[in-house]
Amino acid sequence: MEETIKVQPARLHELIQEKLIKAGLKKEQADTVAKHLVFADACGIHSHGAVRVDYYAERISKGGVTIDPEITFEKTGESTGIVHGDNGVGQYVALRGLDYAMDMAKESGAAIVGVKRMSHSGALSYYVKRAAEENLIAISMCQSDPMVVPFGGSENYFGTNPIAFAVPRENGAPVVFDMATTVQAWGKILDARSKNQDIPDNWAVDSEGHPTTNPHDVHGLLPLAGPKGFGLMMMVDVLSGMLLGLPFGKNVSSMYSDLTEKRNLGQLFILIDPTRFTDLPSFKHSVETMVEELHTIAPAIGFQQVYYPGETNQIKYDTYMTEGIPVTKNIMDYLESDTVHFNQYGGTGSFATS
């Protein structure tokens, strides 16, 4: 197993930002991406943290991201709008979209904002948590490139197509739930590769359709809970791709095949102001009461306690932001080196293999 090093958040942010600037990204955008990746690693979502920097740097260097995007907002109704992202770096464009959506939700009570034409935007939990910290209920979803074998099928069609939710609570951080519609996100397999770890045999299949434990042999991911995950990933694609007039299903651009091309991805934000339905203090108190009641449930054998969905990520965040974030040595060696990127992703297939 690859050695892990604890890094202070500020140092990790600095290294990521410097690497992205060397790749060609402007400082403000590099800062935004670095904050996002540090957040993901601090939450223990290493699949969307520093492990992504090498890929981002390669795509930026090769022109697959618009360095000076002309981001515009098209208001299509009292509570609806579209952010045209001009294929800027995903985290920066998505955050602009969230800002528009939050302003709209606070003014009209709800907002549905689509973000159109962007690159990979990272962990959705980052965005919905930010909205919940503003006392909004938040849902976000996005499409990704085809790497999932549909239930009953033998060829890849949909992406991992994640969806995330967040609600504010009376005490402590918001309740945040973020999930891929596959058994595990593709980034989890990237993380396993970086650590030289096997994966469970129910995550993915190899080129012959057989379950595999080798993260380097993955040729297809599996839907969460069979037909249920399959149905969810289809609806996410409809709402974050088709609804915005973007490519969908097997037509969504590949993350790795041609890093000189823009990705044209979509993301959707749905925000609700709870004060339009109930008073805010009682709503947040109810969420808090639910959390407390879950904590009082007797744990099953093998478990220490019942946690609300996403709670373990928040516990890790609180710990790692103080004690240091675990990062594998090979990733730290890269971040501290003069190498901008290793030129290893371009021209590979959906799973970054030749």
Domains in the chain: boundaries: 4-288+309-336
> Where do we find the tokens 């040595």?
329
Cα–Cα distance for residue pair 169/189, rounded to 1 Å: 33
Question: Which whole number is the average pLDDT over 184-203?
Answer: 87
Mean pLDDT over residues 325-333, rounded? Answer: 96
Structure tokens at 289: 């009461």
Here the tokens at position 65 are 């991201």
pLDDT in the model for residue 147: 92
Three-state secondary structure call for residue 190: helix
Pick from 22, 95, 18, 31: nearest CA to 58: 22
Q: 99-138: per-residue pLDDT in tens? A: 999 999 999 999 999 999 999 999 999 999 999 999 999 9
348 — alpha (psi -120 to 50), left (phi > 0) or beta? beta
Question: Which residues are tagged catalytic?
Answer: 120
**If you average pLDDT over residues 194-209, what whole number do you get?**
89
pLDDT in tens, 270-296: 999 999 999 999 999 999 999 999 999
Question: Does residue 195 have a pLDDT over 90?
Answer: no
Q: Provide the 10 A C-beta neighbour count for residue 312.
A: 12
* Rg from Cα positions in the chain: 20
Q: Residues 306, 176: contact at Cβ < 8 Å?
A: no
**Helices and strands, number each (H, E), in the chain:** 10, 11
DSSP letters for 314-337: HHHHHHHHHH-EEEEHHHHHHHHS
* pLDDT for 1: 64
What is the per-residue pLDDT for 354? 55
Task: Answer yes or no: are the C-beta atoms of 35 and 353 closer than 8 Å.
Answer: no
4-288+309-336: in CATH 3.30.1370.60: yes
Strands 110-118, 80-84: pairing is: parallel
Tokens of 265: 């991805």
Residue 17: what pLDDT? 98
Mean of pLDDT values over 52-58 = 97
- Mean per-residue pLDDT for 198-215? 91
- Strands (DSSP E) contained in the chain are 4-7, 72-75, 80-84, 110-118, 137-142, 163-167, 175-179, 204-205, 220-221, 265-272, 325-328
Please state the rounded mean pLDDT for residues 63-71. 97
Rounded mean pLDDT of the chain? 95
| pLDDT reading at 352 higher than 80 | no
From 85, 86, 87, select the one nearest 98 (Cα to Cα).
Answer: 85
| pLDDT per residue as tens digits for the range 136-179 | 999 999 999 999 999 988 889 999 999 999 999 999 999 999 99
- Write down the pLDDT at residue 350: 75
Q: Tell me what the mean pLDDT of segment 325-329 comes to.
A: 96
How far is residue 94's CA from residue 11's CA, in Å, rounded to a whole number?
A: 25
Is the pLDDT at 14 greater than 70, yes or no? yes
Mean pLDDT on 205-216: 90
Distant-in-sequence, close-in-space partners of 194: CB < 8 Å, separation ≥ 6: 2, 51, 328, 330, 331
